[in-house]
Amino acid sequence: MDTDDLRRRLSRDLDPEMREQPGLSALNQGIVGLIVFSILMAVAETETALVEGHTWVFDSLSLVLFVAFGAEYAARLWIAPLNPRFGSSLRYARTPAAILDLLVLISFLLPLLGLEAALLRMIRIVRLVRLARLGRYSLALQMIGAAVTDRRYELGVSVIIASGLMLLSSTALYLAEGAHQPENFGSIPRAMWWSVATLTTVGYGDIVPVTVTGRIFAAVTALTGIGIIAIPTGILAGAFSDALRRARGRGD
């Protein structure tokens, strides 16, 4: 097998647009696995209890991943001219996907240079999204995306309604509880922390109203929170139901 054959085969295996069959090639599946593993490693590395005494394990694995992703990056540059959408390696290197891959490579080098970069390492998550778009999950993501986009104004209005309610309930609690709990409700921005936790029904309970007036306002806020959840859920439910019906043909 000569170099050109290898390049064409690699192109079909690495670039989903060059692949005849639908779905993800075995090579890309392996890369997805490596990406997931690299994310888990980046997560684990922040926990000193896990790293302590095993730094050599993490360092070795980082090196292996760096080499693997480096090889992948080089291979993608090499096969780029075969895809008519890029034409040349340089044009591919300037795509957001390629820049992201380069940043991920750099993120492996930073800790070796003694630099801490938790956020940069989290770019690996974004890479996952890029690959998750391929294969069979692509249609599902497109459907979810289309349903959300289709109702963007309805969702936007429900965000505006929710923001307004959050401001009103923060103001109410600031007036009712501000004097009793200045630390927690002494200003509207402070009361907002409680308001978000209540309207989303998270309800941490670290900050709660203690006066009767405050609790009545809080009860109204909590009940309103059901609507805050019900409205976007209802909008999306209608959108998904509709998206599917359209996908199955207008005759249904």
Q: How far is the CB of 75 from a second copy (least distance, A)?
A: 25
Nearer to a second copy, 89 or 138 (CB): 138
Nearer to a second copy, 83 or 171 (CB): 171
| Cβ distance to a second copy smaller for residue 98 or 162 | 162
Name residues whose C-beta falls within 8 Å of residue 219's C-beta, 6 or more positions apart in sequence.
none
Nearer to a second copy, 30 or 178 (CB): 178
Report in angstroms how near the CB of residue 233 gets to a second copy at its nearest.
4
Residues 6+ apart with CB under 8 A from 22: 135, 136
CA–CA dist 105, 111 (Å, integer): 12
CB 48 → a second copy: shortest distance, Å?
7
Separation CA 76–CA 69 (nearest Å): 10
Least separation, in Å, of the C-beta of 46 and a second copy? 4
Q: In the complex with a second copy, which residue's Cβ is closer, 96 or 251?
A: 251
Residues sharing a CB contact under 8 Å with residue 64, sequence separation 6 or more, in sequence order: none
**Minimum distance of a second copy from residue 20's CB (angstroms):** 22
Q: What angle do CA 34, 96, 40 make, to 5 degrees?
A: 25
